Amino acid sequence: MDDIQNNVKEAFSKHGVDNPELENAISDILNQVLDSRTLSKRIWKDVIEHYERDEKVKRSFR
């Protein structure tokens, strides 16, 4: 989280923008996006594991 906030601050200062509220808003949005992406990856992994387990069970009854 701190890395994102630092990157946003650096980008703002590089472009001469001084707006801490906007920096915080952008940092929060980026953190939420990364959190949801991580969650999506975990959910996808879980779905794949369940699918593979179901396939093994189906094959065992053939």
Position 52 scores a pLDDT of 96
| Structural domain count of the chain | 1
pLDDT at 1 over 70: no
d(C-alpha 62, C-alpha 55), whole Å: 11
Instruction: Dump pLDDT digits (tens) for 13-54.
Output: 999 999 999 999 999 999 888 889 888 998 999 999 999 999
Domain containing 37 equals 2-60
Reported pTM: 0.60
d(C-alpha 36, C-alpha 59), whole Å: 34
Cβ–Cβ under 8 Å, residues 42 and 24? no
Average pLDDT over residues 52-61: 93
